[in-house]
């Protein structure tokens, strides 16, 4: 794997940011639910498998999904031999390249993926995640917000767009320009900052019931990205 750029961030191999080695509270909730829910669980954007490995350790059957097969191969290599029968590797990505049957998974983790998608792609992604979930299954969403120190100059535009009713106020086409140099080289030009209100609305439009939604501090981010404890957003929603 690539060398870490900070204590808890490892660059991906396909210019889509980083895998964090920190299990945030929403990912931990996914791991706990995965250990008891019926059927397999789906880890979307698994990268090198930090959440996949934790869910396997908890006893879950896991479909580890990523657009880059190289990431999944690293995940498989890191999986203990006695867990491998419960691991399935699936190359694919949101919004529409994950080929799973309707109502086939008990839980979905979608961590730090949605912020690489445009608004229309997010809508399509939620419809597909809802389709794949069993009744009673849960989706766990983690994404980045505009409340990072590095996005201070963008925040007034974001807030003005939101006041004017823009459903996707956080879309940026020049994201690396706002980020520290050591991170910018591993980031795409487009980035979509999100917040609890927006993700709650999209969940509801897809027929999901929101159980929990809120900001969270990204203690795994460099100090020049941390700000006031709102750098990340997490949502837990279930399919009735």
pLDDT 10s digits, 25-47: 999 999 999 999 989 999 999 99
Q: What is the pTM of this model?
A: 0.95
- Any domain includes 4: no
- Any domain includes 106: yes
Percentage of the residues of the chain whose pLDDT score is greater than 90: 86
- Any domain includes 80: yes
- Any domain includes 1: no
- Any domain includes 2: no
* Segments forming the whole domain that contains residue 150: 9-238
- Any domain includes 138: yes
- Any domain includes 178: yes
Instruction: Kindly list the distances between the CA atom of residue 23 and the CA atoms of 9, 20, 30, 42, 124, in Å, as whole numbers in the listed order.
Output: 12, 8, 10, 16, 27
Q: Which of 4-8, 32-36, 198-202, 233-237 is predicted with the least confidence, judged by mean pLDDT?
A: 4-8
| Beta partners for residue 66, in sequence order | 91
Angle CA 170–199–133, to nearest 5: 135
Q: What pLDDT does residue 209 have?
A: 98
Count of domains for the chain: 1
Average pLDDT (85-90) is 98
Q: Using CA atoms, how far apart are residues 28 and 20, in angstroms rounded to an integer?
A: 13
Q: Is pLDDT at 232 greater than 90 in this prediction?
A: yes
- Any domain includes 14: yes
CATH of the domain at 124: 3.40.50.150
Q: What pLDDT does residue 89 have?
A: 98
């Amino acid at each position: 794997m690539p060398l870490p750029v900070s204590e808890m961030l490892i660059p991906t191999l396909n210019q889509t940011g980083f895998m964090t080695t920190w299990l945030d509270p929403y990912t931990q909730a996914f791991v706990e639910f995965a250990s008891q829910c019926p059927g397999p669980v789906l880890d979307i954007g698994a990268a090198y498998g930090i959440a996949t490995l934790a869910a396997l350790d908890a006893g879950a059957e896991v479909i580890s999904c990523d657009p880059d097969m190289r990431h999944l191969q690293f995940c498989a290599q890191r999986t203990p031999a006695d867990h491998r029968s419960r691991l399935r590797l699936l190359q694919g990505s949101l919004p529409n390249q994950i080929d799973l049957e309707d109502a086939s998974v008990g839980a979905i983790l979608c961590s730090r993926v949605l912020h690489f998608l445009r608004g229309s792609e997010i809508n399509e992604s939620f419809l597909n995640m809802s389709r794949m979930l069993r009744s009673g299954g849960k989706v766990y969403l983690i994404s980045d917000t505009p409340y990072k120190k590095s996005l201070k100059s963008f925040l007034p535009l974001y807030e003005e767009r939101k006041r004017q009713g823009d459903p996707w106020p956080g879309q940026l086409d020049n994201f690396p320009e706002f980020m520290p140099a050591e991170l910018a080289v591993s980031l795409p030009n487009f980035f979509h900052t999100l917040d609890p209100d927006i993700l709650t609305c999209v969940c509801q439009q897809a027929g999901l019931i929101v159980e929990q939604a809120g900001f969270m501090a990204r203690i795994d981010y460099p100090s020049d990205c941390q700000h006031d404890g709102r750098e990340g957003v997490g949502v837990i929603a279930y399919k009735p």
